[in-house]
Structure formats: structure tokens, C-alpha cells
Amino acid sequence: MVHVLFVCLGNICRSPTAEGIFGKIVKQHGLSDRILIDSAGTGDWHVGHPPDQRAIKAAANRGIDIRHLCARRIRRYDFVKFDYILAMDGQNLNSLKHNCPKSYDGHLGLFLEFLRSDSCDVPDPYYSDNEGFELVLDLISEAAENLFHHIVKHHL
């Protein structure tokens, strides 16, 4: 079993989108019982909330249902449980590194490392318009495919 956690700031836009997109790829390949997926936020403002309506709509347009997801904050046990902890941007990666125990032996890094070697951020779409959410979906979709092939190659 490989455990993958996506992390953004609020856990209502980018990381639930990544959870939904990556989950769909994993399911399509019949590997849902081998790859466990979750998401979390480094902030706590939206804990207990469903994803942002704009994220729900943008994902639904691409056939992905994320309505059932519920925001939570990163917790200490995540650094025990998850083999991959993938941050949506540098700010969240810094926050995760700050809280990461020395004993963590998984992969903590930027999600878009799996998109290109000069890794970059998934831009925060919260204060943007629909185009911001479309860009989030484009970036996450591409990186999720690469992440999937990486995990299959190295772990399954």
C-alpha cells in the first residue's frame, strides 16, 4: 500500500482537486486498494467545510466529483502514515518542513516536481476567477499522470 497526501493552504481548492483527479486515475487503473489518497490544509479556517463551489464546478466539468470531501488540517500522524506528502506551493512546503519530524522517511516535496524538473507552484486560485481554477486543473491533471506512473514504477 502506498499512501499519498496532497496539501494546500485551505484544503478547499487545490488539494481536494488533486485528491479527486489522482483518485480518478488510480481508480481507472484498478489500483484503489493499493494507493490510498487524502488531502489536508496547513491552515484551519475551512476545517469541516466541503470544497469551494468553484473547485467543485471546475472538477465536475471534467467528470470528477469532489463534493463529498471535507477539509481538515495537517496533523502529526500524517508524517507517520503518508509515503508521499506533496505541497501545492512553496509556502505550504515550508510550513510542512517546519512541522516535519526528523524521523520522517517519506517523500516531502512540491507536487509539480512531477510535472517538470524546475518545479513550480500550483497558483492559489482562491482570489482568482474561473480561469484560475482551470489552470489549477490543467497543472494538477498533468502532474497527477506523472505521479501515477512514478508510483507504479517504483512501488507496485
Applying CB under 6 A, the residues found at the interface with ligand 4NP are 8-14, 45, 124, 126
Catalytic pick among 38, 78, 89, 124: 124
- Among residues 39 and 147, whose Cβ is nearest to ligand 4NP? 39
- Among residues 45 and 156, whose Cβ is nearest to ligand 4NP? 45
Measured CA to CA, the distance from residue 93 to residue 84 in angstroms comes to 12
Question: Does residue 124 carry a catalytic annotation?
Answer: yes
Catalytic pick among 13, 14, 78, 89: 14
Measured CA to CA, the distance from residue 92 to residue 25 in angstroms comes to 25
Question: Does residue 8 carry a catalytic annotation?
Answer: yes
Q: Are 48 and 70 in contact (CB under 8 A)?
A: yes
- Which helix H or strand E contains 3, and what residues bound it? strand 2-8
Q: How far is the CB of 126 from ligand 4NP (least distance, A)?
A: 4
- Among residues 14 and 24, whose Cβ is nearest to ligand 4NP? 14
Measured CA to CA, the distance from residue 84 to residue 87 in angstroms comes to 10
Catalytic pick among 8, 52, 78, 89: 8
Question: Does residue 72 carry a catalytic annotation?
Answer: no
Measured CA to CA, the distance from residue 94 to residue 153 in angstroms comes to 28
Counting every residue written for the chain, the total comes to 156
Residues that are catalytic:
8, 14, 124
